[in-house]
Structure 1
Amino acid sequence: MKRRNFVKNTASGAAIAAAGFNAFSAVEPHPLSAATAESPGNESMARMFNAAYTGSHLDRVAFPLGGIGAGMVCLEGCGALSHVSLRNHPDVFNEPLIFSALYIKGMPNIARVLEGPLPGWKAFGYSDAGNGAGGKTYGLPRFDRASFSTRFPFAELELEEDKIPLKVRITGWSPFIPLDPDNSSLPAAALEFTFKNVSARPVEAVYSFNARNFMARSRRGAARTAADTSRVGRTDGGFILQEAGSEKEPWQEGSFCALTDQPGTAVNCRWFRGGWWDPLTIAWKDVEAGAAPERSPLTEGHPSPGGSLYVPFSLAPGEEKKINLLLCWYVPKSDMREGPEVECSGGDCCSAEDVGRTFSPWYAKKFKGIEEVADYWKQNYSTLRERSAAFSETFYASAVPPEALEAVAANLTILKSPTVLRQIDGSLWCWEGCSDDSGCCQGSCTHVWNYAQALPHLFPTLERSLRHTEFFVDQDKRGHQAFRASLPIRHPAHEFHAAADGQLGGIMKAFREWRISGDSDWLKKYWPRIKASLDYCILTWDPRHHGTLEEPHHNTYDIEFWGPDAMCTSFYLGALKAAGLMAAAVGEKAPLYRTLYEKGRKFMETELFNGEYFYQKVQLEGLDAKPLSESEAWNIEYSPEAQELLKKEGPKYQYGTGCLSDGVLGVWIAAVCGVGEILDLEKVKSHLATVHKYNFKKDLSEHANPQRPSYALGKDGGLLLCSWPRGGKPSLPFVYSDEVWTGIEYQVASHLMLVGLTDQGLEIVRAARERYDGRLRNPFNEYECGHWYARAMASYGLLQGLSGILYDARDKVLYLHPTLGGDFACFISTATGYGLAGVRGGKPFVEAKEGKIEISKIDYRAAV
């Protein structure tokens, strides 16, 4: 097939947007998909995947807006702005006084907060509920019907009320453009308000945006004085909420700007100063009166409590008006410094002059202040929207089952959450997730971020910055890698174990980065570090060269497995094979890696497979490690009663004969990284089918979980981390074993699809997304050890599982081995462009929508 017959490139997404892009057009259900996520016998709970959220499904919706590592504000299902986390850390329950409002002139006049019905839980769900939610907007009139839809990175809220002559549509978005990390990392968001006159009479109205100065240091209730360093300033078309900080606390400096694109916007920088709820009372009085006061900033006395902007407008019957509200922020400093203090040595140390003693965000280097951010946002708004819309349209053109597409898109919001930080030199640094007011589990944890597949495809340069940290900062001369990076990024202490799955996974991910980039010079630079890393793993966990990990090895369950286990051995096999391929590419021979791979594969397929699934052989004897009874080195407390268990059952926290959902995780990572097959396919397929058979539960009501039950419980369905269908469950199995994690559900589902068990994979995906339907859990916040948990980005692997798409930039070959039958299209993102690939008229095709995708060959294998 000639290249020109199946490759079509376009320079940008502008043409797509200009052609009439509608981010919220319906996504047709795929034939493989169940029609609804329905609870049996209760049709009111039914909701189509990728469809609107209405009624009780709106209650927990909070859609993140903001840039990668740049802070976040969420648009709720009712239209409120919450989870305001602009100060370089999460602030999950920060719902400051911010609201848009609408005044309509009439007999009588109408005033509404531009929000739908208040979710019931808010009336009594916050920690200070006993004080009546004073100073909130909860008691202000609002629309009585709302509907919320998303087409990432866009969200759309529709508001209606029979007595109101205007229909309101609010579109929230922030830039997200694959392969353009800088424009996708802006501290900015937008709300676009469209008002349509659905009556037979002309309408006169005033739109307003109102905000208390939540950037002020005293926002949590401290007494204000005339010496306060906060102020409300004026900018063209809007206002700026500011806090200057102090010499003692420079990290308190911060600004938030709100402005419109409307000529003649009136701005009130002087909210009423007074006690109790005076400021809100007077601000709402202005709304009710249809006032649009122009009040300049205060220059003396106490600072203004807040600011408002107003846009008066008139609409003839059937006429529409659109008002764009641009939001941006600037918090250039923090007091965050994570990790131990160690003496700097080597050539890759980051000094305070390089990145600062404490964390500063990337945008603080690009912009000098809030005015520059606002100006850039205004000047580039149309282009950034067109390009973001082009991505959204392309992504949602994927003809794959809607539950899978919903799972992928919902978890892309993690990249907009405070889980992700981008330090001042542009390098990525991440938490595992977010606690309520701080990050959770520091340091771009390698064994968690192993699962996350979105970033290397959408923003490969950011993903490669994680590899740089792992191999050039967190790895010492021995090859030992600290699996948690310090912040600002600098050399760690190397005082704890390496993580076997994290370090071995990093070797497969290095192979992936080479494949995605096609950059052999990059590989040559990294190869000595990769080799040292693998050699350390061999010396530490396989010193007798048996081809399996025998010595105690730390892993993602925050404990150590003793003796050879399937999960970590599969990582070992994948790393050995990947390293052999990379060694050959740089002109080196690696016979030991090949020998260990062959020995390890044979051992795992014979000694760790029981005819149904892979398992663990717990081992204490014959190891270099000291007995647990003589050592405290393994981070496990052994009380007298635990010592008795040790004698009877062996070490705590093993899985032994258990059927582990992650049991062949290394095989999946090898597959999605392009390393290829590392174990017998039929045995892998048998393991995955058994995981689905025993670990997937449609109803967890009878399942006992003494660990962390709220991820999935009661009538929820979900995939357990482990089960013991053949008996032998330890008294104290590995911690988390009775839990349900979406990240593991998605990797298992993706792997099931890759081996042809697509129906079983989709069943798991449906169960996960049914739990996150907005009624009890936020559909855009899949949590594990914290909100917006990184492991959930394993969902991106569903695209590969269904489409079989794998692009190799080294030789420009597109592998297209779908499990979907017939014609289909699926989103593809490479290092040079993104678009769609699939089968059309029985023939493979590729279409680039932005950038280019060079193809020398398509390796197409039709679904069986």
Structure 2
Amino acid sequence: MARDGRPFNGPYEGEYLSRVAFPMGGIGAGMICLEGTGALSHVSVRNAPQVFNEPLMFAAISFPGSDAGARVLEGPVPMWKAFGQPGSGNGQGGKSWGLPRFAKARFETRFPFGTVTLEDPKSPVSARITGWSPFIPGNPDDSSLPVAALEYELTNNSKKEVDAVFSFHTANFMATRSGGDAVREGPGHGIILWQPGPEDKPWEQGAFWAAVESGGDVLTDCALFRGGWFDTLTMLWNMVSRGEYHYAEPYTDGPPSPGGSIYAPLRLKPGETRTVRLMMAWHCPVTNQTHGGTAQSPEDCCEGCDCEQPAEQTYAPFYVSLFPAIEDAARYWMANYRRLRDESEKFANAFYDTTLPPEVVEAVAANLTILKSPTVLRQKDGRLWAWEGCHDGSGCCYGSCTHVWNYAQAICHLFPSLERTLRETEFRVSQNRRGHQTFRSALPIRPTTHEFHAAADGQLGGIMKVYREWRISGDTEWLRKLWPQVRQSLDYCISTWDPDHTGLLMEPHHNTYDIEFWGPDGMCTSFYLGALKAASEMGRALGDEQPLYEELLQKGKKAMESDLFDGEYFFQKVMWEGLHASPPRYDTPEANRLLEREGPKYQYGAGCLSDGVLGAWIGKVCGVPDFLDRAKVDSHLKAVHKYNLRKDLSDHANTQRPTYAFGTEGGLLLCSWPKGGQLSLPFVYANEVWTGIEYQVASHLMLEGMVEEGLEIVRECRKRYDGRFRNPFNEYECGHWYARAMASYGLLQGLSGARYDAVEQVLYLHPSVRGDFRSFLATARGYGIVGVKDGKPFLEVRSGEIPVKRIDYRPAK
């Protein structure tokens, strides 16, 4: 149970409802959030985040001829919106917040469905609003649609028959200052908000469609009152409050309508429930987005790769390849609504048919919403590309950053074909002839420049992930085609960071902390050993054994377990002299004096690093056979839990970015120095708390049988995201909906120990959970439930197929 009594994976109400905003939309297709009150916000449909975009857009219910009054179909507005938000100094004019609404709201979720319950003693009707968008594992295209829906279940709680009018109203939030905007009728009983793209700004083109299905009459109004001040909303509410409605065609003279409305009159018998469906779609086909450098010579391309630049000069979303216009997207959504809902619900039913702890289920499901956020893009040819997270008005840190996306474990299992496009981009597009990988891919995806360091953890982690994608897909031909570039990549890593073949990364190496480690360290060496092991396994399977990889693996294992282990945890041996690289020099004399006294800035040295054996976790969840002494790995994990997990951070000094976790909150620190030796300037994020690292450590602890220790970390993390001060569906780091948080998906494997190998067609089931249990499992060709019943392992396929020749079952100790 979370702090102050809210149960994990339970409903949000009262103060816990304050920050709830549940993303809806398709993978790489844009997002609208359903708030815990029933409001719509974070409207980000123009291929970029717009976190504070909360246009005038609401549904209402009125009762003609009754004194019950009209109400917005939302709960009370959270008071944090009243002051401190952009525009709040002028009273937030033009919002619907001042209109009557329901007295009480409650929110609960079964991803990809979020449900708001509204009640009010003054209203004869209660409402249950279910917001969703398609999410179907193994079907990436139908999971990438630019659509969302709200289903309003309206129940007459009175003893009399009730006449009511459901209505939906929206300003034309697609309009820009370029003119030409319009509101027109759309497919079904719908309206389209339209903005053409002027010749000098074609990316302003955009359309948004909304339609209502009620099982009865539906009328559209494309001619709202035009005027100044608050005229439009005032005249609109005058009509709504009287229970009036009408049909109106678009204006043919003067300025366009400032928005549109849809009305559905209803008659409800006592106790009767009617469902009104609000369907939405959007279409913004042109952008001005281009990120990253462009290859300048054949040397910037990998040998044997296609080095031609794409025809598109700017990013275009995948859905453009499916739908030439908004009308096409709308018609597809209407025609396939029931099928897409049934298939999404089938997934939800399987995912939640589990006995795993609720804090784990909550953490995994909450971060699947990242796939519906603007963090993820999918370009016109279907390839995936992503930010690390989202700023308020733009993406944050471009390029499917390899050292961040290392942690994310959801897409590879739920949509493995999309995950493989990331590997193909890394090794065949962003890698040059020397094997240097630019860890930030360009957009549109194209060969890029190679002017900055490679990222050791990102590039080496990618090799383990190639192994993972092969075992998940069972596609050895895919591996065979990528193998020359994998070898080239690993050979580059060896020659750059281990030129003397010690088995350790000796030379300065860039990593996910945005700095270089000088000298060998446990974290990046664990990546190195994992990549050597994975490459050895892949080479052997392809008949291309690499003796050097195995030799370096054995050397590195011995050195890491002796020279980088203090008897309790792995550390870094800081070195900056006697290397092939020149010693660092800094811009200021005081920094150079510090260098002379302590060595290079931004190291962790004798610290206990939470990511200290990250490569071993990546290897384990990827299915790479063990390559480090498990007893020493376990010892390190125990030390991380002992020293880095804090239940109260009040006495912890964090001069970096404190609001991820601070004050009386708890969390797992990135690093601590329990035995002394902290440098004056340790690595730049050392005192912070990142949810992605919390989850990878928790998953790793679980995989090694330390279940309660792992759960303790998960609980501390999710307590911070309980809805009071942070959105439970937006774990942030360097931006909103931060990709690293999808390490949470690894918690499923951490507890169930389930991993399906499509190459061998073997289901490995090595749970850390004792006794009988049930857990969700997704594979390339199907998904279902895996677990133990009456002491025996089982697999229950819910969708597709999962061919299993054998279950390798090892019960928990």
- Which TM-score applies when normalising by structure 2? 0.98
Alpha carbons 1:100, 1:209 under 8 Å: kept? yes
Counterpart-to-counterpart distance in 2, 1:292 and 1:247: 38
Match of 2:49 in 1: 90
Counterpart-to-counterpart distance in 2, 1:738 and 1:279: 51
Selected match of 1:196 from 128, 145, 155: 155
Deviation at 1:107, TM superposition (A): 4.1
Counterpart-to-counterpart distance in 2, 1:74 and 1:729: 43
Match of 1:261 in 2: 213
Identity %: 61
Counterpart-to-counterpart distance in 2, 1:441 and 1:643: 30
User: Does the alignment pair 1:37 with 2:29?
Assistant: no
- The Cα offsets for residues 329-382 of structure 1, whole Å up to 9 and x where unpaired, read as 0000111010123336455235342xx101100001110100000000000000
Alignment of 1:442-461 (within 5 A): 442-461=398-417
Match of 2:547 in 1: 591
Match of 2:309 in 1: 351
Counterpart-to-counterpart distance in 1, 2:789 and 2:65: 56
Match of 1:103 in 2: 62
Counterpart-to-counterpart distance in 2, 1:329 and 1:595: 55
Counterpart-to-counterpart distance in 1, 2:421 and 2:559: 36
User: Does the alignment pair 1:230 with 2:182?
Assistant: yes
- The Cα offsets for residues 88-129 of structure 1, whole Å up to 9 and x where unpaired, read as 000000000100001023541411011101101000031211
Match of 1:252 in 2: 204
Alpha carbons 1:344, 1:491 under 8 Å: kept? no
- The Cα offsets for residues 747-784 of structure 1, whole Å up to 9 and x where unpaired, read as 00000001111000000000000000000000000000
Counterpart-to-counterpart distance in 2, 1:191 and 1:690: 47
Match of 2:284 in 1: 331
Deviation at 1:48, TM superposition (A): 0.3
Selected match of 2:623 from 662, 674, 682: 674
Match of 1:184 in 2: 143
2:404 is aligned with what amino acid?
A: V
2:416 is aligned with what amino acid?
A: P
Match of 1:29 in 2: none
- The Cα offsets for residues 121-174 of structure 1, whole Å up to 9 and x where unpaired, read as 000031211111000011011111000000000000000011111110000000
1:731 is aligned with what amino acid?
A: S
Task: For residue 264 of structure 1, give the secondary structure of its aligned residue in structure 2.
Answer: coil
1:244 is aligned with what amino acid?
A: P
Match of 2:240 in 1: 287
Counterpart-to-counterpart distance in 2, 1:668 and 1:213: 49
Alpha carbons 2:310, 2:445 under 8 Å: kept? no
1:474 and 1:717, CA in 2 relative to 1: closer, same or farther beyond 3 A?
Answer: same
Counterpart-to-counterpart distance in 2, 1:532 and 1:281: 67
Alignment of 1:614-653 (within 5 A): 614-629=570-585, 637-653=586-602
Match of 2:696 in 1: 747
User: Does the alignment pair 1:161 with 2:120?
Assistant: yes
Match of 2:37 in 1: 78
User: Does the alignment pair 1:370 with 2:326?
Assistant: yes
1:37 is aligned with what amino acid?
A: A
Alpha carbons 1:232, 1:304 under 8 Å: kept? no
Selected match of 1:310 from 263, 272, 278: 263
Task: For residue 184 of structure 1, give the secondary structure of its aligned residue in structure 2.
Answer: coil
Match of 1:17 in 2: none
Alpha carbons 2:294, 2:442 under 8 Å: kept? no
Alignment of 1:343-422 (within 5 A): 343=296, 345=298, 347-349=305-307, 351-353=309-311, 356-422=312-378
Counterpart-to-counterpart distance in 2, 1:281 and 1:240: 22
Match of 2:523 in 1: 567
Deviation at 1:235, TM superposition (A): 3.4
Task: For residue 776 of structure 2, give the secondary structure of its aligned residue in structure 1.
Answer: strand
- The Cα offsets for residues 703-732 of structure 1, whole Å up to 9 and x where unpaired, read as 010000000001111000000000000000
Counterpart-to-counterpart distance in 1, 2:84 and 2:432: 48
Selected match of 1:298 from 251, 254, 262: 251
Task: For residue 124 of structure 1, give the secondary structure of its aligned residue in structure 2.
Answer: coil
Counterpart-to-counterpart distance in 2, 1:610 and 1:232: 70
Task: For residue 150 of structure 1, give the secondary structure of its aligned residue in structure 2.
Answer: strand
Counterpart-to-counterpart distance in 1, 2:660 and 2:469: 32
Counterpart-to-counterpart distance in 2, 1:359 and 1:730: 44
Match of 1:856 in 2: 805
196-205 vs 791-800, which deviates more?
Answer: 196-205
Match of 2:174 in 1: 215
1:352 and 1:670, CA in 2 relative to 1: closer, same or farther beyond 3 A?
Answer: closer
1:200 is aligned with what amino acid?
A: K
Deviation at 1:512, TM superposition (A): 0.2
Counterpart-to-counterpart distance in 1, 2:197 and 2:184: 14
Equivalenced residues, count: 807
Match of 2:21 in 1: 62
- The Cα offsets for residues 215-246 of structure 1, whole Å up to 9 and x where unpaired, read as 0013xxxxx8xx53434334320101000111
1:510 is aligned with what amino acid?
A: V
Task: For residue 194 of structure 1, give the secondary structure of its aligned residue in structure 2.
Answer: strand
Deviation at 1:664, TM superposition (A): 0.2
Match of 1:28 in 2: none
Alpha carbons 1:77, 1:157 under 8 Å: kept? yes
Counterpart-to-counterpart distance in 1, 2:505 and 2:424: 26
Deviation at 1:602, TM superposition (A): 0.4
Counterpart-to-counterpart distance in 2, 1:768 and 1:569: 28
Alpha carbons 1:404, 1:765 under 8 Å: kept? yes
Once superposed, what is the RMSD of the aligned Cα atoms?
Answer: 1.0
Deviation at 1:685, TM superposition (A): 0.5
Task: For residue 381 of structure 1, give the secondary structure of its aligned residue in structure 2.
Answer: helix
Match of 1:20 in 2: none
Task: For residue 429 of structure 1, give the secondary structure of its aligned residue in structure 2.
Answer: strand
Alpha carbons 1:234, 1:267 under 8 Å: kept? no
Deviation at 1:688, TM superposition (A): 0.3
Counterpart-to-counterpart distance in 2, 1:677 and 1:370: 51
Counterpart-to-counterpart distance in 2, 1:229 and 1:125: 31
- Which TM-score applies when normalising by structure 1? 0.93
Deviation at 1:789, TM superposition (A): 0.1
1:807 is aligned with what amino acid?
A: Y
Task: For residue 640 of structure 2, give the secondary structure of its aligned residue in structure 1.
Answer: helix
Counterpart-to-counterpart distance in 2, 1:460 and 1:176: 14
Q: With a CA cutoff of 8 Å and minimum separation of 6, indicate the structure with the bigger relative contact order.
A: 1
User: Does the alignment pair 1:273 with 2:248?
Assistant: no
Alpha carbons 1:109, 1:288 under 8 Å: kept? no
User: Does the alignment pair 1:494 with 2:450?
Assistant: yes
Counterpart-to-counterpart distance in 1, 2:61 and 2:267: 12
Deviation at 1:77, TM superposition (A): 0.9
Match of 1:718 in 2: 667
1:270 and 1:522, CA in 2 relative to 1: closer, same or farther beyond 3 A?
Answer: same
Deviation at 1:622, TM superposition (A): 1.6
User: Does the alignment pair 1:462 with 2:418?
Assistant: yes
Which runs of 5 or more structure 2 residues have no equivalent in the other structure? none
Deviation at 1:426, TM superposition (A): 0.4
Match of 1:846 in 2: 795
1:350 and 1:118, CA in 2 relative to 1: closer, same or farther beyond 3 A?
Answer: farther
- The Cα offsets for residues 271-307 of structure 1, whole Å up to 9 and x where unpaired, read as 1111111111111112111111100112232111000
Task: For residue 778 of structure 1, give the secondary structure of its aligned residue in structure 2.
Answer: coil
Match of 1:240 in 2: 192
Which runs of 5 or more structure 1 residues have no equivalent in the other structure? 1-35, 39-44, 219-223, 630-636
Task: For residue 75 of structure 1, give the secondary structure of its aligned residue in structure 2.
Answer: strand
Alignment of 1:464-613 (within 5 A): 464-613=420-569
Match of 1:785 in 2: 734
- The Cα offsets for residues 449-507 of structure 1, whole Å up to 9 and x where unpaired, read as 00000000000000000001000000000000000001001111100000000000000
Alpha carbons 2:68, 2:122 under 8 Å: kept? no
Match of 1:657 in 2: 606
Match of 1:126 in 2: 85
